[in-house]
Structure formats: structure tokens, C-alpha cells
Amino acid sequence: MTRKERFSKVVAWFGENMPAAATELHYNSPFELLVAVILSAQCTDKRVNMVTPPLLERFPDAAALAAASFDDLYPYVKSVSYPNSKTTHLIGMARKLCEDFGGEVPSDIDALMTLPGVGRKTANVIASVVYDKPVIAVDTHVFRVSHRLGLSDGKTPDAVSKELEKYIPEDKRAISHHWLILHGRYTCTARNPKCADCGLSGFCRQYLSENKD
């Protein structure tokens, strides 16, 4: 099976079986999603969704968060991973938004990456989820699933992202990010993947290589 054929089968399967995939982070605005995605680095969405309601009630927009001190914000994020750096990043991000972007979250990926705490993965998430840009953010789930399925052999998240974007049609890229994350989170898990329950096993490179007759 060629890589192009494998991509076609994977995209078709997800389109039929997971047509309404979306982020599991809770948000009501681009700013709220940006806060949530920064907090989600090496932390579960479930934990982030517990943290963001009181945080965003206290700091509802970039101006409010930009005016916060470290000691003001830290109690709201202390239960997530790396709370010290994330507290600093969130305040810096809000101040940069106010200084350079009028308090609004930009849609341009390069502009997003000028914000403290925002790397390419976070920028791609915001660009695809909020602004429907045809980019694919690669986290640990997307990286793992892409390799197991045989969609990419890229050694870095950026390399995997480029390969996914090469083969996945533009109108499917935003949702493909969610397809691969959710599949990795609930089925193609890092340990003990649920191959027996996976509808993709018939054209999964790793599964087929491990189950040759």
C-alpha cells in the first residue's frame, strides 16, 4: 500500500466514524482557548478544564491578565504541570497581546509564535481551531498515531506536520488534528493500544507488521 493510499483510507475512515471531532478543551473565545492550550502542555485536558473556569472568571480578557502579578495568578494554575513557567508565560502572553495586538488573538501563525508560551504546536492549534487555517498541530498523540499508522516517519513534530499537510486535503486538516488526538487518547494509546477495537487496524502499518501470518 502506498502512503497516499493509506492516507486516503485513514481520512475516509475517520470521516465516516468520527465526523464531528473537536477539541475537548472548554472555551468561549480565542483568548480563552489560547489560555487553555498554554496550560495544556504536558497536562490533561480534564485538569485544564477544571482550572480555567475560576481563572477566566478572575481574568476574563487579555487586559485583566496583563495586569496580574505572579502572585495573583499562581494560585489559579498551581495544580497544572510546570505552574511557575506557565504563570509567567500567561502573564507575558497577555501583555504582548495588549501591547502588539490590541488585546486580540492574532490569526497569523508567525504572529502567534511571538507570544510567550506559544510554540508552533500551540500556534497551529489556535490557527486551525479558531481561524480554520489548513494546518495540523502535532502533539505526542498525533506523533505516535502518525508513526504507527504509517502516515509519517518524521523525526520531529514539525516534520510530521509537514508530511500530514502534504497528503491530507486542506479542507480536512483542521479536523484531522482532532481525529488523530482523540484516536491516540482513547484507542491508540501509548501503552496497551486497543488494536482489537480499532477500525484502522486493517491498514495500520504497525499492526500489520506485528500480525503477519
Residues that are catalytic: 121, 139
What residues contact residue 76 under an 8 Å CB cut-off, 6+ apart? 51, 54, 55, 58, 59
Find out whether 74 and 68 touch, Cβ atoms under 8 Å: no
The SS3 of residue 2 is coil
Whole-angstrom Cα distance, residue 128 to residue 126?
6
The SS3 of residue 68 is coil
The DSSP letter of residue 196 is: G
The residue whose grid cell reads 489556535 is 126
